[in-house]
Amino acid sequence: MPLELPEAVSIREVGPRDGLQNEPPVATEDKIALIDALSRTGLRRIEAVSFVHPKAVPQMGDAAEVWAGITKAPGVRYSALVPNLVGARRALAAGCTELEVVISASETHNRANVNRTVEESLADLARIVALAHEHGATCEVVVSTAWGCPYEGDLPVASVTAVARRALEVGVDSVVYGDTTGMATPRRVVELVEASRFLDDRPLGLHFHDTRGTGLANVLAALQLGVTRFDASVGGLGGCPYAPGASGNIATEELVHMLEDMGVATGVDLEALLQVAAMAERLAGRTLPSGVLRAGPRTRLTPLPG
């Protein structure tokens, strides 16, 4: 039976932000070079920076410099994560036009991360959305721990969709579900996406981690339900803050490699992306978990021995 798949998807590259935030610090000029190189691969969306407090996340302390230093390629959209209203003001002052705000579906995780209740975070989100819209910018909510919390374990699907519903009520332009802990499996992806039909035409994106090896299987399950927006990180940059040494985000080149072979267009030049993955590996100073970076595309030939 042939798979029913969308003709094309939109990949958001999150390596420069989500990836590098979970790696040892990288020099500002190297971040700029990484983003500029990604801009030349055919990727159309790049999460570039995070305007968090430098004391909280030193890796992102140079967000304004990075933002100012990158060459904004035509046709590529760059986004910034903001943790609160102060971060949103900084991002908008720097000229960002696409903001993202993370709210955890788990009360315990949200409190541990931002020392606020989910309700307080939603109230803050309302203010950030209003400010973004005043400036002609968009604001997306990323509902994190959507498939489970490191402290509470599995969360009811209804508590995840409740956060997304409330975010829609305060006017967010799009929703992403984040598998922060790598706990998603295909059947759990189907459950949550099916329960999110209330989003209607609001874009739904999915952010998978490959912590337990289910990242691309989760993508395939979501594709069959018509989801066309996915986050991924070049080389698989980043990690899992709750499982030291474990892999984090799915690798962009693995995603592109699988999708293009299935006839799902990504717009990305895989060979160009692999060059950037090699660069990401140099910047991270460690072997990144991407299988396609190690082995090359499936059609890469091996010289005959002898």
Q: Which residues bind Mg ion (CB under 5 A)?
A: 18, 249
- Nearest distance from residue 304's CB to Mg ion, in Å? 41
Evaluate whether 151 touches 117 at the Cβ level (below 8 Å): no
- Closer to Mg ion at the Cβ: 92 or 288? 288
- Nearest distance from residue 288's CB to Mg ion, in Å? 14
- Nearest distance from residue 192's CB to Mg ion, in Å? 17
Active-site residue 240, yes or no?
yes
- Closer to Mg ion at the Cβ: 18 or 124? 18
Spatial distance between the Cα atoms of 278 and 235, rounded to a whole number of angstroms: 7
Residue-wise burial string across 164-201, b where 16 or more C-beta atoms lie within 10 A, e elsewhere: bebbbebebbbbbbbbbbbbbeeebbeebbeebeeeee
- Closer to Mg ion at the Cβ: 185 or 297? 185
Evaluate whether 236 touches 254 at the Cβ level (below 8 Å): yes
- Nearest distance from residue 207's CB to Mg ion, in Å? 6
- Closer to Mg ion at the Cβ: 60 or 92? 60
Catalytic residues: 240
